[in-house]
Amino acid sequence: MEAKLVSESATLMTDLVLPGETNPLNNMFGGELLARMDRAAGIAARRHSRRVCVTASVNHVAFNRPIPLGSVVTVEAKISRSFNSSMEVYLDVWIEDRESGIKKKANEAIYTFVAVDDTGHPVAIPELIPETDLEKERYIGALRRKQLSLVIAGKMKPSDATELIALFNE
């Protein structure tokens, strides 16, 4: 299977925030943003693996900045690392200033997707080639984040999380 670049699966989704998608403070519902991020990440995972991909875990979400009604929101999804059947997908969320058009970072998140066959069983996927400094930084950190996620999910013994342990010993 041929390794792929991050740019080959990178996905940009831009859409407005409409009245049905806000809370009583007229800011976007967290759940609406989670759904948009899930869709963008799912498309990136499918583009990378060319397989059906399912959300295995939401590893991290930071709602740093409220997103007001009427905002133009761009969700950028990039695979940060692929393993055997799973992929870490990094989401950066931007809002656009109405007058200047300048984009400000509003939120970020990290999801894990797994490529599966027609019966829902995990299948092997291509490796990822990081190119930019940011892609390389996220690629390196992905293994310890995977171990942390597996430990929290009860799928890995803490003593087996070697990358994570090394982080605390630095």
Ligand X SMILES: CC(C)(COP(=O)(O)OP(=O)(O)OC[C@H]1O[C@@H](n2cnc3c(N)ncnc32)[C@H](O)[C@@H]1OP(=O)(O)O)[C@@H](O)C(=O)NCCC(=O)NCCS
By CB under 6 A, name the binding residues for ligand X: 54-57, 83-86, 112, 114, 116, 120, 122, 146, 149-150, 153, 155
Cβ proximity to ligand X, 27 vs 55, nearer residue: 55
- In the complex, the smallest distance separating the C-beta of residue 70 from ligand X, rounded to whole angstroms, is 29
Pick from 132, 112, 129: which is nearest to 2 by CA? 129
In this structure, is the dihedral angle defined by the CA atoms of residues 150, 91, 15 and 8, taken in order, positive or negative? negative
Separation CA 126–CA 83 (nearest Å): 8
Q: Which is nearer to ligand X, 86 or 107 (CB)?
A: 86
Q: How far is the CB of 87 from ligand X (least distance, A)?
A: 8
- Closest approach, Cβ 99 to ligand X, in A, equals 39
Residue 9 or 74 having the CB closest to ligand X: 9
Least distance CB 118 / ligand X (angstroms):
13
Please give the Cα distance from 93 to 33 (Å, whole number). Answer: 9
Question: What is the rounded CA–CA span in Å between residue 45 and residue 19?
Answer: 30
Residue of this chain nearest to ligand X (CB atom)? 83
Kindly tell me which of 20 and 120 has the beta carbon lying closer to ligand X.
Answer: 120
Q: Write phi, then psi, for 51 (nearest 5 degrees).
A: -135, 165
Beta-strand runs (E) in 64-96:
72-82, 86-96
